[in-house]
Amino acid sequence: MADAVRTLCDAAYGTATQPYFASLGPGEHLLGMVGGALVSHLMWVTRWLEPQGHKLLQTAYVEMVATAPQAQRQGNGRPLSSARLALLARATIREKGRP
């Protein structure tokens, strides 16, 4: 499936996305399927922020949001975005080193 995701993102962004995926590191992926075909993708990666005077905070950066060119502007990305919000809303905000 990783190859299908990269092919989708390459088409959506109009460029080779493998170097970008490599720089992001591991993340959580959501896939949008229509009739068994991959048409949308998004991922999020964990990042740590350190606001001045505060402890490190866990965050999620959304990356590589893409929809196949032929499937764009048809609402195919909306369910992924909604699912991402629901999943992240259930996640616990943590300070580094604490559950």
Would you say 48 and 96 are in contact if contact means Cβ atoms under 8 Å apart? Answer: yes
For residue 18, the model assigns a pLDDT of: 94
What secondary structure, in 3-state letters, does 16-28 show?
CCHHHHHHHCCCE
Distance CA 27, CA 24 (A): 8
Which segments of the chain have a pLDDT < 70? 85-86, 89-99
- Domain positions in the chain are 2-90
43-47, Cβ contacts within 8 angstroms, sequence gap of 24 or more: 44/84, 44/88
Q: Which fold has domain 2-90?
A: Aminopeptidase (3.40.630)
- Model-level pTM? 0.75
Among 63, 59, 21, residue whose Cα is nearest residue 42: 63
Predicted local distance difference test score (pLDDT) of residue 97: 52
Phi, psi of 28 (to 5 degrees): -100, 135
